[in-house]
């Protein structure tokens, strides 16, 4: 990890919400005899909507306006029907001219400003280049409905601007929900930590066609298989979504398996009723540190674990899985800063790396064979709490090279690179791509003239992965006619940034040289006995054109 002066990362997670905030065309009965065709408009939002001066347009060769709406307010989840002459239940009558041929026919709802459209195109070819909602000639169309059937949105009111929004309804449902059903889903599960309080947020998605009765919803929350909440959640749905927040009591340096389960009478799809969240607080006792997923025979696959903590880590019947659900079970004890290797074939691995400590290499009874092209490796406690995971996409040119974690000491900036070691990997040793704990640099020194004083600004950066250090910054100067530097100032520093010192204006004409030096101890955190003292320096010159005094 590279640290310069200040690094700030902001991650924004966005969710697509396909329940429109505007009225949509919800059902089309185009296969009826002349005079009996109709179109249903629906307001899926939780707010009333004014349709005045909106227009309903139809097209076979070009778009024509069939109806301009008068003053009409569409209540939340209300339907209106525009029908031909013989449609007795229609709220408005219009000549719709809905054809039933192979050539595409279009229907669209347009707002007064002509900057919002909701369009359905049905048929098999588009010789007249009728436009879609993106105002481009449409290339996708809904297949026409058979006689006596309608085209209906599924789920009710949902609009993703894709033909998959539409299904054939054997029984048309004018002014009523399409395919009436109830379906609640857990859309998301996440945790925030604000003001020393952990909050679990459960996002509930209402996919139902009619309104649900919130008093019949039961939400159950589990923390490591213990029920911590089971009740009717205090929620209000907005555009089909609602969020319920519940406080959690979580301990530092601990992992958690969190599950949310929602139930509702007559829910038609139980596959989306639950969601699982793996969450870790603080320092992990063990991590995935290196993996060889595509070895060159006879070297086997192997996975290296590492204990970055200050405590002994005991793993009893822990296991790792791949994306296909294959599992390998093992037990191990890792001292602080110790490595441990799991392998498909211990004999072959020791043959490739004969210097390895055999008692730190383990071959599970069964091996979850890793996929060379793409896979996900997850490490679990026996309880099912996930400790760590890695997803990778294979690179053919890197066959025989392991993937190494760049910084095993950080969970906030996790990065992986292919090993640069001559052997292709570094089992039971520091990764080849891991920088020193502390690697200070002086990337720049600037001189600023201020009257009869020179300000010397020294920039200090750290390319190591540890934020904690102590260094001595020394600034010295000499004239070009002199052989030795004279110390101007010394600073003890403990963070990156800019440091200023001052020198009286040089009295001698010609070049003046400023030597900036950093003395620090480069700590090998995994092996404190291997710490060593380093010095980095930067020389900056200044040309004094002032005549001698």
Q: Which residues 6+ apart lie within 8 Å of 181 measured at CB?
A: 208, 209, 266, 268
Cα distance between residue 545 and residue 549, in whole Å: 12
Other CB atoms within 10 A of residue 523 CB: 18
Q: Hunting for tokens 């209000």 — which residue is that?
A: 236
Cα distance between residue 377 and residue 359, in whole Å: 23
Pair type for strands 274-281 and 497-504: unpaired
Extract the tokens encoding 384: 């099912």
Mapped onto helix, strand or coil, the DSSP state of residue 480 is coil
* CA triple 419-420-424, angle to 5 deg: 65
**pLDDT for 528:** 45
Q: Say if residues 540 and 454 touch (Cβ distance below 8 Å).
A: no
CA atoms within 13 A on the CB side of 486: 7
Per-residue pLDDT of the chain (549 residues; tens, 9 = 90+): 333 332 223 222 333 334 567 899 999 999 999 999 999 999 998 899 999 999 999 999 999 999 999 999 999 999 999 999 999 999 999 999 888 778 899 999 999 998 889 999 999 999 999 999 888 999 999 999 999 899 999 878 888 888 888 988 888 999 998 877 788 999 999 999 999 999 999 999 998 877 889 999 999 999 999 999 999 999 999 888 999 999 999 999 999 999 999 999 888 789 999 999 999 999 899 999 999 999 999 999 999 999 998 899 999 999 999 999 999 999 999 999 999 999 999 999 999 999 999 999 999 999 999 999 999 999 999 999 999 999 999 999 999 999 999 988 877 778 999 999 999 999 999 999 987 778 888 999 998 887 778 889 999 988 777 777 788 999 999 988 888 999 988 989 888 888 888 887 777 788 889 899 988 876 544 444 445 677 888 888 888 876 544
Mapped onto helix, strand or coil, the DSSP state of residue 517 is strand
Cα distance between residue 39 and residue 57, in whole Å: 11
Cα distance between residue 91 and residue 383, in whole Å: 60
Q: Which residues 6+ apart lie within 8 Å of 500 measured at CB?
A: 455, 456, 457, 458
Cα distance between residue 137 and residue 228, in whole Å: 54
Q: Hunting for tokens 């894709």 — which residue is that?
A: 162
**pLDDT for 547:** 54
CA distances from 286 to 305, 526, 543 (A): 7, 14, 56
**pLDDT for 20:** 64
CA distances from 98 to 126, 173, 516 (A): 15, 18, 82
Pair type for strands 486-493 and 497-504: unpaired
Cα distance between residue 485 and residue 479, in whole Å: 8
pTM of the model: 0.60
**pLDDT for 498:** 87
Q: Say if residues 345 and 382 touch (Cβ distance below 8 Å).
A: no
Cα distance between residue 439 and residue 441, in whole Å: 7
* Phi, psi for residue 335 in degrees, rounded to 5: -70, 165
Cα distance between residue 299 and residue 296, in whole Å: 6
Nearest in space to 471 (alpha carbons), one of 524, 421, 530, 537: 537
């Amino acid at each position: 990890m590279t640290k310069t002066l200040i690094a700030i990362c902001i991650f924004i997670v966005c969710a697509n919400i396909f329940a429109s905030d505007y009225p949509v065309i919800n059902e089309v009965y185009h296969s009826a005899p002349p005079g009996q065709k109709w179109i249903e408009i629906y307001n899926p939002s939780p707010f009333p909507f004014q349709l005045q001066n909106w227009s309903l347009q139809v097209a076979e060769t070009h778009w024509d306006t069939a109806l301009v709406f008068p003053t009409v307010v569409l209540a939340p989840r209300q339907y209106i029907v525009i029908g031909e002459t013989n449609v007795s239940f229609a709220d408005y009558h219009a000549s719709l001219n809905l054809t039933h041929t192979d050539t595409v026919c279009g229907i669209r709802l347009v707002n007064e400003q002509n900057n919002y459209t909701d369009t359905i195109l049905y048929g098999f070819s588009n010789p007249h280049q009728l436009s879609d909602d993106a105002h481009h000639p449409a290339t996708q169309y809904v297949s026409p409905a058979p006689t006596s059937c309608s085209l209906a949105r599924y789920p009710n009111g949902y609009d993703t601007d894709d033909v998959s929004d539409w299904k054939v309804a054997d029984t048309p449902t004018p002014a009523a929900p399409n395919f009436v059903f109830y379906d609640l889903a857990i859309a998301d599960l996440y945790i925030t930590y604000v003001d020393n309080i952990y909050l679990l947020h459960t996002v509930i998605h209402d996919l139902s066609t009619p309104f649900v009765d919130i008093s019949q919803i039961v939400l159950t929350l589990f923390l490591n298989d213990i029920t911590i909440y089971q009740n009717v959640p205090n929620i209000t749905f907005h555009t089909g979504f609602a969020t319920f927040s519940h406080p959690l009591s979580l301990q530092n340096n601990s992992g958690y398996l969190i599950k949310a389960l929602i139930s509702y009478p007559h829910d038609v799809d139980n596959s989306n009723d639950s969601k699982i969240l793996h969450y870790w607080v603080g320092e992990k006792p063990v991590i995935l540190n290196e993996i060889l997923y595509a070895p060159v025979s006879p070297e086997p696959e192997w996975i290296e674990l590492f204990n970055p903590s200050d405590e002994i880590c005991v793993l009893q019947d822990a296991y790792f899985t791949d994306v296909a659900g294959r599992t390998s079970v093992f037990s191990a004890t890792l001292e602080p800063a110790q490595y441990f290797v799991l392998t498909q074939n211990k004999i072959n691995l020791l043959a490739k790396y004969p210097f390895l400590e055999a008692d730190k290499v383990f071959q599970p009874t069964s091996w979850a064979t890793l996929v060379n092209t793409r896979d996900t490796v997850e490490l679990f406690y026996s309880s099912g709490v996930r400790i760590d995971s890695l997803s990778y996409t294979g690179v053919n040119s890197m066959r025989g090279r392991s993937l190494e974690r760049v910084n095993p000491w950080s969970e906030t900036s996790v990065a992986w690179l292919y090993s640069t070691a001559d052997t292709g990997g570094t089992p039971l040793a520091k990764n080849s791509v891991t920088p020193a704990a502390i690697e200070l640099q002086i990337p720049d020194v600037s001189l600023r003239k201020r009257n009869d004083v020179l300000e010397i600004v020294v920039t200090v950066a750290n390319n190591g992965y540890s934020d904690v250090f102590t260094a001595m910054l020394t600034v010295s100067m000499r004239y070009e006619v002199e052989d030795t530097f004279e110390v101007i100032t010394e600073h003890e520093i403990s963070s990156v940034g800019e440091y200023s010192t001052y020198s009286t204006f040089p009295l001698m004409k010609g070049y003046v040289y400023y030597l900036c030096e950093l003395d620090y101890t480069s700590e090998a955190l995994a092996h404190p006995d291997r710490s060593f003292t380093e010095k980095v320096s930067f020389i900056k010159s200044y040309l004094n054109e002032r005549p001698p005094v």
